A and B are shown apart, each in its own frame.
Chain A
């Protein structure tokens, strides 16, 4: 199977830390992407993990555990502009297709 699951909505407070989880069936994918999409705009690339572990890029970090079929995106020092949808996507093995989850809509409140 090629399901990607992530929570529909999350709410967090400005300045705080939030973790957005993504789970997938391990047999289907090679590599996990995270994209950010503001309302009415195109998705923009945030991160790509192909090996286990944590990758940090400024305020954003992404983690992957291939054996558990689990990834998360960690956003630190939240800002109001971080309010957006966060899309998790897996690259299908032996293909170049990306399968996207439905996205997590994050609302950052003052």
Chain B
């Protein structure tokens, strides 16, 4: 079956512009996670969604970052007024439920802010 997909795979943007990153989780997975990975670093948790519950936004680094999940499926991570330190790979993962321990990761979106 299809895995987690993300688009775009690469995004180059100018400092100050807004960007939207998209994640399509595996069909039927109710839990969805966003992470950020800077070069040579581990993954940094950003936000997770579980069904229709309020998302856990505790990892979002600033109010320039927001995410939504429409219809319990597709999710969009938005970064407003991008800064150079936002440059990283943004990874999305999904799992069947939040109690399902295995998270399946998408290929990521590499964001470069110039």
Contacts and interface: CB of A to CB of B under 8 A. Distances in A.
Contacts of A97: 45, 48, 56, 58-59
B14 to A, nearest CB: 25
B42 A45 contact: no
A31 B98 CA distance: 14
A7 interface: no
A87 B35 CA distance: 14
A107 to B, nearest CB: 14
How extensive is the interface on chain B, given as a class? 20 to 34
A98 B105 contact: no
Contacts of B35: 100
A44 B108 CA distance: 13
A102 B41 contact: yes
Size bracket, chain A contacts: 20 to 34
B12 interface: no
B20 interface: no
Contacts of A100: 35, 42-45
A48 B102 contact: yes
A87 B42 contact: yes
A75 interface: no
A103 B108 contact: no
Contacts of A44: 105
Contacts of A91: 101
A4 B106 CA distance: 23
Nearest to B44: A100
Contacts of A89: 42-43
Interface in A12-55: 31, 33, 41-45, 48
6 contacts: A42-B4, A95-B56, A100-B35, A100-B43, A100-B44, A102-B40
